[in-house]
Amino acid sequence: MTREGIAGPEPAVSVALCIKCHKLTDAPVAVRWIESDSGPGATLYACPEHAVQLGAGPTPGDVIR
């Protein structure tokens, strides 16, 4: 049996749009999570620089209201 196109664990996103400066970064840091009633929700990313400003760290279970 062969697994076509599968080469090990799928990496996290390698490129994402920074929610702050709206530029593509190749080192995205997850900074926000959007919860959804009908799905797994979505993760928002920022470039490393803005991730610091936005305060990367809160996890889905540690949302600050």
Residue among 21, 24, 27, 52 that touches Zn ion (CB under 5 A): 21
Residue 29 binds Zn ion, judged by CB under 5 A: no
DSSP state of 12: P
The C-alpha atoms of residue 25 and residue 8 are separated, in whole angstroms, by: 24
Tokens 């803005």, located at residue: 50
Tell me which amino acid residue 65 is: R
Residue 51 binds Zn ion, judged by CB under 5 A: no
Residue among 17, 20, 32, 54 that touches Zn ion (CB under 5 A): 20
State the residues that interact with Zn ion by CB under 5 A.
18, 20-21, 47, 50
